[in-house]
Amino acid sequence: MEKRELLYEGKAKKVFATDDENVLLVDYKDDATAFNGLKKGTIAGKGEINNRVTNFMMKLLEKEGVKTHYVEELSNRETLVKRVSIVPLEVIIRNISAGSFAKRYGTEEGIVFDEPTIEFSYKNDDLGDPLINAYHAIALKLATKEEIEKIKAMAFKVNDVMKEFFAGIGIDLVDFKLEFGRLSDGEIVLADEISPDTCRFWDSKTHEKLDKDRFRRDLGNVEDAYNEMMKRIFSK
Ligand code: UDP
């Protein structure tokens, strides 16, 4: 597969065309941003870790019956994926209170929920990705009712698979963000990435944060945390 022109450059990834119109090439960068781009930096080795961790998770999920955009890992930073049109929703699943949930409802972090929660944000940088409910998403024609139902079921399935996997390597899966896309025939598949940039990972015993919160909150040892997650995941 040949790498062709740059189609899009985002905060953490570049996307290139290939000689197959249905396949794109994703190239992961070390650049890190937080707070809607207000905080900028780099995390050495992040691109490689996020690429390899994402592909590991996508393969695991496919094995468990979740359809994804994953095609093939080309190198430490580059992966082929199916071309999708992204549903402009960030889908967030939570198992434990943290981040914007704790802030919005004035609770502490670390409350373990009896049932996982789901919420959506409207992917719109100008508006700062506002929280949106399913009715509003349908009214704005961001997705159909059927697509929302499909996305919910897939997101909870992803949570079941990932929670169990991470428990096996001594990690509490606190929360994470997913994105979904439509293939050319309209089928909904899991897209984007699953990495320490998009998940909160806490060590089950020490509760140490092993994810992007180390960068967002200036906790130090950012690279160590990403490396530790990669090491544990690939020990399996
Ligand atoms: N998240 C993400 N991208 C975003 C917003 C959130 O990947 O633009 C992830 C984040 O890493 C965390 C989960 O979604 O694992 C929930 O994030 P939250 O809503 O608590 O927002 P935050 O506190 O990160 O602003």
pLDDT tens per residue, range 17-75: 999 999 999 999 999 999 989 999 999 999 999 999 999 999 999 999 999 999 999 99
Give the integer Cα–Cα distance in Å for 72 and 127. 34
The rounded Å distance from CA 92 to ligand 1 centre is 8
* Residue 230: CB atoms within 10 Å: 19
Instruction: State yes or no: pLDDT of 80 exceeds 90.
Output: yes
pLDDT band per the 50, 70, 90 thresholds, residue 88: very high
Apex 93 CA angle, 230 and 170, nearest 5: 35
- Considering the entire predicted model, what is its pTM? 0.97
Q: Is 217 within 8 Å of 122 (Cβ atoms)? A: no
- Among residues 142, 206, 222, 204, which one has the least CA distance to residue 179? 142
Q: Give the SS3 label for residue 35.
A: coil
Cα–Cα separations (whole angstroms), residue 7 to 15, 23, 86, 108, 114: 6, 12, 14, 42, 43
Per-residue model confidence (pLDDT) at position 187: 98
Apex 96 CA angle, 94 and 98, nearest 5: 85
The rounded Å distance from CA 175 to ligand 1 centre is 8
Give the integer Cα–Cα distance in Å for 179 and 166. 20
Among 175, 179, 192, 201, say which to mutate for ligand 1: greatest number of ligand atoms within 8 Å of CB. 175
Binding-site residues, ligand 1, Cβ < 6 A: 90, 92, 98-101, 129, 175-177, 198-200, 212
pLDDT band per the 50, 70, 90 thresholds, residue 236: confident
Task: Give, as one character, the DSSP assignment of residue 111.
Answer: P
Among 90, 198, 217, 226, say which to mutate for ligand 1: greatest number of ligand atoms within 8 Å of CB. 198
Q: Rounded mean pLDDT of 213-227? A: 98
Task: Give, as one character, the DSSP assignment of residue 127.
Answer: G
pLDDT tens per residue across span 91-137: 999 999 999 999 999 999 999 999 999 999 999 999 999 999 999 99
Closest C-alpha to ligand 1, atom 6:
177
Q: Which tokens sit at 216?
A: 């967002």
Give the integer Cα–Cα distance in Å for 104 and 124. 20
Per-residue model confidence (pLDDT) at position 113: 98
Average pLDDT, the chain: 98
Alpha helices by DSSP H, 173-218:
213-216
Instruction: State yes or no: pLDDT of 2 exceeds 80.
Output: yes
Closest C-alpha to ligand 1, atom 24:
99
Among 91, 94, 100, 129, say which to mutate for ligand 1: greatest number of ligand atoms within 8 Å of CB. 100
pLDDT band per the 50, 70, 90 thresholds, residue 12: very high
Per-residue model confidence (pLDDT) at position 143: 98
Closest C-alpha to ligand 1, atom 10:
198
In 47-102, beta strands by DSSP E: 70-73, 78-82, 85-86, 89-96
Per-residue model confidence (pLDDT) at position 1: 83
Closest C-alpha to ligand 1, atom 11:
198
Q: Is 143 within 8 Å of 149 (Cβ atoms)? A: no
Query: Of all residues in the chain, what percent are helix, strand and coil, respectively (each to 5)?
Result: 30, 35, 35
Give the integer Cα–Cα distance in Å for 73 and 183. 19
Q: Rounded mean pLDDT of 171-194? A: 98
Percent over 90 (pLDDT), the chain: 98
Beta bridge partners of 9: 14
